[in-house]
A and B are shown apart, each in its own frame.
Chain A
Amino acid sequence: MAVLVDKDTRVLIQGITGSQGTFHSNAMLEYGTKIVAGVTPGKGGESVNGIPVYDSVKNAKEAEDATASVIFVPAPFAGDAALEAITNDLNPVVLITEHIPVRDEMIVVHAAKAKGITVIGPNTPGIITPGAKQKLGIMPGHVFSEGVVGLMSRSGTLTYEIAAGMTNAEVGISTAIGLGGDPCVGLTAVEAVELFKQDPETKALVLVGEIGGDAEERAAAYIKNEYDLPVVGFIAGRTAPPGKRMGHAGAIISGSSGTADAKIKAMNAAGIQVAEKPSDVARILNELL
């Protein structure tokens, strides 16, 4: 069991003929992902890594029965690509692209909400369910091992760091979700916890957050009231200065809001153990499980 992505997910890659789309569709295939089609307008009839390419999501879905989409389309066109996936009822829609204008993001998020579709990202490494050998994204599959811990995070490589530590400590993952590093993302931390709560195989959670916004505080409040299994947290940016964007568009302390301290406090108040170092996450999980 897992959330959002399982063995039956049939994946379509939008922007498959670009360098990122080609590279990562190959990496996904190698990992085991069931990619059934690619889309690049104007390149219908071609194939990439043996995957048939279509001109539109509509054509690709009709021909190959795709259920989910991973988008590698460049930022100026990514919003349109996401709306195309949403219009064709693909679910989830994984939006890897970084630097999408926030106004486009807002439209995409609410168009998806109106149809009950989950958008992961933008600016996300994607989602991976190791037990089903399905990854919809750019993460290195080998650092994630199968298990019972649900992992959600706003960053990429930091997630790999923590997942690798868990794998070394023989703590496996049910599903890992990159929520995305932008201020406005589709699937929120609270919604991710709700999904994991409904998955009987997920026995504990890891919540990897960072400075900026209050998604972690909201998730902590939800966990306090609604989630009874163990949760371990980590917050990046304890030493970040206010007013500076730390790489991610969403990672900024504005005024007094979005600080690591406030997040850690909220998490502690919800009974979440917050790791001081990334490597502590696996150690604490081992103690709790």
Chain B
Amino acid sequence: MKLFEHEAKEIFRAFGMPTPPGGVARTSEEAKKRAEEVGKPVVVKAQVLSGKRGKAGGVKFADTPDDAARHAEEILAMRINDLPVEAVLIEEKLDIQQEIYVGVTVDRNARKYVMIGSSAGGMSIEELAEESPELIIKHHVDPFLGFRAFEARNMAIAMGFKGKNINRLGSFFIKLWQIVTKYDVELSEINPLILTKDGRFLAADARLNIDDNALYRHKDIIENLHREPAEMNERELKATAEGMAYVELDGDIACICNGAGLTMATLDAVALYGGQASTFLDLGGGSDKERVEKGIEIALQYDKVKAILVNIMGGITRCDDVANGIVAVRDDQGIDVPLVIRMVGTNEKEGQDILTKAGIPFLKTMEEAAAKVVELVKEVK
């Protein structure tokens, strides 16, 4: 679950990490008010769950409250990476001495958290890794000992800080680690962390993603946010509620399969034969008749879908259940796009008999099925 910048900063402040003075605004009037409260030049920042908002024009400086209101109005009317901007954050424009990077993520190979710091903040960590990798300081956290104050100080020292700034910067790493352990954070970045000309350290930006698998132990956060954990359309909500993995794409062939790897491979096979998938829909293991019905129903609600490819490798999932589900959807509500079915494995014969009786053709290999659905889509077009 991704948090908005202003939501993440609320958590940062609760743990004692200073952020620039300011507040959230959802209208231009509110933006003006926030800027008046700050009483200094401000920055107006789009609140979207997407990087690169600066490049999209979602960050603007304002010298007066009227300027802030005008910028807020523009930004609130924008869509960034196809997401609507529903709020802006108004904050004091800082007098920058130095931009710093502080972050934490999961290292999949080490299977440990890794704390990351750099004296050259402001740009993305990927860009930094290309331009000056020597400026990136990493520390893998011992899963049993956790992250300790001396390790935080060592990071600040390695980043080139001296004197009192060692502890001042170190405390951001410590607090970030406290947030990680408290909220099952999967990734967090303070980029930039700003050292002002008058010597203050402030978290000027904030990114905080919580492990979706751990949300059950952080119900308090979700309640405080007063919003859904993710921005999802109606179909995504339905599929998620059913425990299916559902991703919408730009093509026109819905691929409904069981298992994530098989679904990806089916999308690839469709592309190999010249088609393009509209839908990744993994029904999950042990799919019964109802699941198959619901999956097809959800897939049909996406207006880009011009054909459906069902590819089932029966294991726990039984082909007769799948066949019954397909027949039920067709008989109950009709399937008005070409349908190609490939299923093998457990109870294959029974399933194929059901389809044959219902007059629905099926194929034996996933390659034949992918080629067939691509051919049918071309006819529809």
Which residues of A lie under 8 Å from residue B315 when comparing CB positions? Answer: 138-140, 143, 156-157, 160
User: From DSSP, what is the main secondary structure of chain A's interface residues?
Assistant: loop
13 A–B pairs (Cβ distance < 8 Å), ordered by A: A103-B181, A140-B346, A156-B261, A157-B313, A158-B262, A158-B313, A161-B265, A188-B109, A213-B109, A237-B264, A241-B249, A245-B247, A247-B280
Q: A101-B184, A164-B344, A236-B265 are in contact. Are A248 and B260 (CB under 8 A)?
A: yes
Interface members, chain A 130-166 (any B CB < 8 Å): 138-140, 143, 153-161, 164
| Shortest beta-carbon distance from A97 to chain B in Å | 10
Which residues of B lie under 8 Å from residue A105 when comparing CB positions? Answer: 111
Interface members, chain B 228-280 (any A CB < 8 Å): 245, 247, 249, 257-265, 267-272, 276-277, 280
Residue on B nearest A157 in the bound complex, by CB: B259
B222 contacts chain A at the CB level, 8 A cutoff: no
Interface centre among A154, A157, A188 (most CB of B within 10 A): A157
Residue on A nearest B180 in the bound complex, by CB: A103
Interface contact B261-A138, CB-CB below 8 Å: no
A251 to B184 Cα, complex, angstroms: 20
Instruction: For the A-B complex with A236-B261, A239-B267, A277-B366 known, give 16 more contacts whose Cβ atoms are closer than 8 Å.
Output: A102-B214, A106-B106, A107-B144, A109-B143, A140-B316, A156-B285, A157-B259, A158-B313, A181-B260, A208-B261, A210-B260, A210-B264, A234-B265, A246-B264, A247-B264, A278-B366
Interface contact B112-A106, CB-CB below 8 Å: yes
Residue on B nearest A140 in the bound complex, by CB: B315
Q: A139-B315, A250-B108, A255-B126 are in contact. Are A155 and B259 (CB under 8 A)?
A: yes
A217 to B109 Cα, complex, angstroms: 11
A106 to B110 Cα, complex, angstroms: 9
B170 contacts chain A at the CB level, 8 A cutoff: no
A188 to B186 Cα, complex, angstroms: 20
Interface contact B143-A110, CB-CB below 8 Å: yes
Q: A139-B315, A155-B260 are in contact. Are A215 and B265 (CB under 8 A)?
A: no
A154 to B344 Cα, complex, angstroms: 21
How many pairs, one residue from A and one from B, have CB atoms within 8 Å of each other in the complex?
A: 161
A55 contacts chain B at the CB level, 8 A cutoff: no
Q: A208-B261, A244-B247 are in contact. Are A164 and B345 (CB under 8 A)?
A: yes
Which residues of A lie under 8 Å from residue B269 when comparing CB positions? Answer: 277
Which residues of A lie under 8 Å from residue B201 when comparing CB positions? Answer: none
A207 contacts chain B at the CB level, 8 A cutoff: no
A116 contacts chain B at the CB level, 8 A cutoff: no
Interface members, chain B 269-313 (any A CB < 8 Å): 269-272, 276-277, 280, 282, 285, 313
Which residues of A lie under 8 Å from residue B249 when comparing CB positions? Answer: 241
Interface contact A211-B264, CB-CB below 8 Å: yes
Q: A103-B214, A138-B315, A239-B267 are in contact. Are A183 and B106 (CB under 8 A)?
A: yes
Interface contact B214-A101, CB-CB below 8 Å: yes
A159 to B315 Cα, complex, angstroms: 11
User: From DSSP, what is the main secondary structure of chain B's interface residues?
Assistant: mixed
1/0 contact trace for A206-248 toward B, CB 8 Å? 0010110111001000000000000000101111110011111
Number of interface residues of B (CB under 8 A): 51
A277 to B368 Cα, complex, angstroms: 11
A80 contacts chain B at the CB level, 8 A cutoff: no
A262 contacts chain B at the CB level, 8 A cutoff: no
A153 to B315 Cα, complex, angstroms: 16
| Shortest beta-carbon distance from A14 to chain B in Å | 19
Residue on A nearest B113 in the bound complex, by CB: A106
A99 contacts chain B at the CB level, 8 A cutoff: yes
B314 contacts chain A at the CB level, 8 A cutoff: yes
Interface contact B247-A75, CB-CB below 8 Å: no
Interface contact A161-B280, CB-CB below 8 Å: no
A103 to B144 Cα, complex, angstroms: 11
Residue on B nearest A213 in the bound complex, by CB: B108
Q: A236-B265, A236-B268, A276-B272 are in contact. Are A156 and B259 (CB under 8 A)?
A: yes
Interface contact A239-B271, CB-CB below 8 Å: yes
A76 contacts chain B at the CB level, 8 A cutoff: yes
A245 to B260 Cα, complex, angstroms: 10
Interface members, chain B 196-227 (any A CB < 8 Å): 211-214, 216-217
A20 to B269 Cα, complex, angstroms: 32
A76 to B213 Cα, complex, angstroms: 9
Q: A155-B260, A157-B262 are in contact. Are A246 and B245 (CB under 8 A)?
A: yes
Residue from the list A100, A138, A158, A278 in contact with B285, Cβ < 8 A: A138
B367 contacts chain A at the CB level, 8 A cutoff: yes
Interface members, chain B 94-112 (any A CB < 8 Å): 106, 108-109, 111-112
Interface contact A109-B366, CB-CB below 8 Å: no
| Shortest beta-carbon distance from B131 to chain A in Å | 15
Interface contact B282-A247, CB-CB below 8 Å: yes
Interface contact A277-B272, CB-CB below 8 Å: yes
Interface members, chain B 348-377 (any A CB < 8 Å): 365-367
A249 contacts chain B at the CB level, 8 A cutoff: yes
Interface centre among B109, B111, B214, B365 (most CB of A within 10 A): B111
